[in-house]
Structure 1
Amino acid sequence: MSVDNQMALWNEAALRVLDIRRSALQPGNSLRAFRLPSSAFLLANRGRARMVLDGVEHAVEGCYVCHAGKGASLDIVEVAEEFNYDIVYYKASLAFPCRQELLRLYREDNPFRSQFGYAPIYPLSLLTRLELMRRHWQADAQLDKFQVRALFHQWVHEILKQRYEYVDHSGRVLGPLSQIIRYMEEQYAERVSLDDLSSLFGFSSRQLQRLFKSELRMGPMEYMNKIRMEQAQAMLTKTEVSLKEISEAVGYADSYYFSRAFKKHYGISPQHYRSEGRISPSRSSRISIGEGRVRSYSIADDDNHYQYKDEGAIPMNRRTKSMLAVSLMLSLMLFLAACAGNNGGTANGNGANASPSAPASTQPASSAAAETAQQSSYPVTIKHMKGEWKLEQRPERIAVLDTQFVDQLLTLDEQPAGSVTAAGDSSDFPEYLTDKLSDVKVLGTKDEPNLEAIIAMNPDFIICTEFQEKIYDSLTKIAPTVMLNRNDDWRDTLVTFGQIVDKKSEAEQVLAAYKEKTERLKAELATKLAGESVALIRPRDDMIRVHTPLHRTAAILYEDLGLTAPEQVREVQDTAYPISLEALGDVGADHYFLLTDDMFSGLVEEFKSTQTWKSLEPVKQNRVYTVDTTLWIAYYGPIAINKVVDQIGEALLGHS
């Protein structure tokens, strides 16, 4: 029967999995004259034996797949080493009524009773699908049984595809690189590490790196990232799903790291990629078009995760009475705005951000003219996560709902009128900023801003982050509001703040000074360390987190200052990974920056008291430098970043 005819019958058949059995035969044992109770696929995954199906012999070594119909006789003999195999029993029947042509094909050559066997060229494809199917089969829920049915169709498709497309026609035996690439193309949505790939295909990490570099001129994880980015690109252009959903669909637990990886690959942020004509204009207003060099840490793995509530959800004030008061105040403000008629106000380019009009100006004409001259750079368009905002004039009373934005404003010699409080700090605002602040209203916390306090301070501009997504609409009713990605690179955020407060040249000067400072320090460090490696670690939850170059703070060490990351740290495709204290020596760094804070100080001291810690060479050489987690991780503004750079220079060079 031709392949097309066989496929026509498979397509029309009703398929039902009856059982999935896993078995093993030890050397010297055998299985004889076993009658298959139904049609079945047998997949061997390990060992060496001779298998006989209705008198047809199959020499089996390693992975081997075969098929036979109900009543077929199965013998497995001459088992030379432990022989592991799974049998999937199924029933197939044609759904009546059906075309006479199909009935004729079914009677002449029933594919569900046919016998074949071959060594698959992509064994992992079959093994991973079968393992997933078996796991669902063992569960009791009906939903899992339904999933088995869907997975069985995919599994059979892969078996037949490999049989007809590769084995029967081409006779090719593919090399390991093709096998690995095929596996990557199927498993890109999973958290696959370099070690996973190496162990699956029997390589060391170094051998696998060499194989990819010699054939493809890129590393295996770089190639995996290429596959993921191509899939993400298609989803961005063809769907409306959120960035978080896309990042998870292509194997990234952290949407911020996904954004950074996408921009590094394509030179444009995913939000911008979507908004620049690659999707319908009707959607662009709802999608971020900010382009940031994203430094991130997963919310699930965030170093300050204990400060978040409800996994990052932003609950509004839970007291009904307070909510009622807020609603009444908002309604009153909208009513007064409507009564203002043609009075002057802040124009905007986004109807969703409509705000009350300001009272008519009463200042003398000469003062107004002077102010107009100072505001020559306006109007300016601010790109943010909710679209664009056309800012007609310089805002005077700015409310910020993230303390790192306080840092940004103070860098430009500006004062916020109100801010949420600092997370993980004993004072309302970061201690390193308190002497620079004056008369700043407290607006609740980042996780739970106080809408009543925001209304009371009467802002003319609000800057929030995605943490305030749930109250964004309420904020826009108080004042013009822009939403910035809190994990955008601080340099990009500073440029945006320069636009908002008309200090673009000052922002550029800060960036130029930082670049000059880090380049100078980078040269000194290169001379002093001569390639010695540095790692950023933080004990927590009875483990130690090792931060990789993908983490936004670790990037200061490895990118801004050009320090060398240990090989093990470079290989991990995530912002951080956990290890035990006993495995710390395997990281192999020559220097360690040790993050600690009040919450985990006890654990740090416990680790330091162990013999394992004391035996580490960097500990013996006084090359472990203790730094404050809150400053290094929680705050991400220019002032904090410069302090971190100073501390790095002081630790490694002995001076600031």
Structure 2
Amino acid sequence: MENNKEEKIKFSKENFADDLRLWEQSAITLVDIRHKLISSEEAIKNYLIPTSMFLYTNGGKAEIILNDISYTVERFGVFHAGKGTELSIYPKCNWLEYYIILYKAGEPPFYKREFIRLLEKTNLFNQQYGYSPANPIFFGGQFRKMYEAWINPCPLGLFYGKTEFYQLVYQIYNELLNEKADNFKPDVVSMVQRYMDKHFSEAISIGLLSDSFGISISQLNRLFKKRFSCSPQAYLKEIRLNAVQSYLQNSNVTFREIANSTGFYDEFYMSKEFKKRFGQTPSDFRQNTTWTMGNLSMENILSIPYNEKSLVSVSKHNMEGEFSMFKQIKSKAVIGVALSLIFLLTACTNVPANTSNQDKEGLITKQEQVIDTEEGTRIVSTSMGEVEVPVNPKRVVVDYVIGDVIALGVLPVGVRSAFGGSAFGDVIHDATLIEKWDPEEVMELEPDLIISVVKDEFEASSKIAPTVFIPFTEMSMEERVTFLGEVLNRQTEAESAIREYYKKVEESKVVLEKQGILDKTISIFFGDPIDVAVAGDKWGRGGDIIYNDLGFRAPDVIQSEIIGGDQHRNLSLEVLPQYVGDYIVFDWDPKLFEQTTIWNSIPAYADGRTIALDFAFFYYNDLYSQSRQLDFIVDNLLSITGED
């Protein structure tokens, strides 16, 4: 255990000049601004912050944890933390509002030597602190204004957000410098509680624990009893006994193995304490439980825990409290089979990252020759808490981010039903298509890892196998692929896949510019030629690739009102011409153009500068799909100019 000190939250006036100098010289980039209203049942757990961060909590009691240091917020809180910090937010009220600003601080074009010297002296971008603001009205309004500007992006709005960021930093330093704010003290009681929750299977000395957190035993006992109505020793014993009960219910391991796995000195002491707590010996409890399990009805559920000593499975889910993953088995006839099959890991075929349509087949064949024999488990931090996953997952079931997983060289054994004609459709022909994402159907595949983008299905999936939730709409493609690289233990492949994709983008831009295409405008339409709608850069159909990756511009009205506004708009045929660029991209059957003659008067259509998209091929915006979609767009543009 590390001694948790408070140096990180202390400010000294003599460092303020250096801090402000760093803020002045740094090249600040706003990465993301997030806002959410969460209930007490929607805690944010162990989120790994990708950049430096400001956090503001508004109007309710909450527990904020930064790298295992807990702070209690009564009403309002301002926090800062550096890249790589683990953040958890536990609301202690009905509803808690919070804002997060993610930013990066880069080197300035000038004064680099002074910048590095100051950074070595006081790296304020990694500082971790929290305090109760003296002027919460200002901070609530400031974070709200920045968020509203961020979600409606336009050049002026982004510039506004950056100017307001410096105003935010000024107000924070003004309050700290003038001692207007109250620094939050670490919540030692919560930190001790969470340490015991996580390490109950180890030998824990309450005396050493109190020393590690800088508090006397008597004070810890007093504060702990005030919070939980029991002593730390009693709390620890209750955790251990509940774990013993779970092992007895859900496994056939010996009493000695259970004692070793739950922190008891031996099985005799464990039995004595168990009988005192539950009124019967572990043997009697197991017999009664076994009888009950033997009389399960078809509708009942058998819990098979994934435990940290690998007594039942190689994988375990550590999210909160006593929650453990279990399999839903509705027939007594398959219980024995399930218990044996849970140990079987079947090798899966691999496919490399970012393959084009032409060389995909050869590279897949080459990758199939690679066999990874590494076993064991590892912990990954997710937005839903810590999850223990296989070091080398072999039977992966995937929902939606299928192409991202394929891009990292992993072929899933099962996927949520994919559109026919998708970019990766011919790669997953051996995978099982799960139409309704039924738990029984998923369980039949014996997955050792499930990757899902549906938060509501997380709990059910976690009962089948270790499950990682991907907050798809909250992550960029680069963030998502990097995270999946960590989950699948393919960090190198993730870096390579991202690098190769953007290399392909740059090479494509060179070719397009050489052919005099890159400075042209492109419009993206969907619907049909009569009931037509226009799409922006975040409305699918290749918009992100065309406008953001390749850098094409849209006609001015689309650029300002659609890309910089609502992302899509239904159009009347009367105003259609002003939305049409030099090239037209559409997603309907070209034969439908015969329904109206207005398109014949539009130069781009009359001259054949059109690209028809297949909806299924462009439905997914994962890395593998986008790589092939990029090829399709570039090839069609060159074909129109006669340069294919």
Q: Give the structure-2-normalised TM-score.
A: 0.45
The structure whose RCO (Cα within 8 Å, separation 6+) is larger is 2
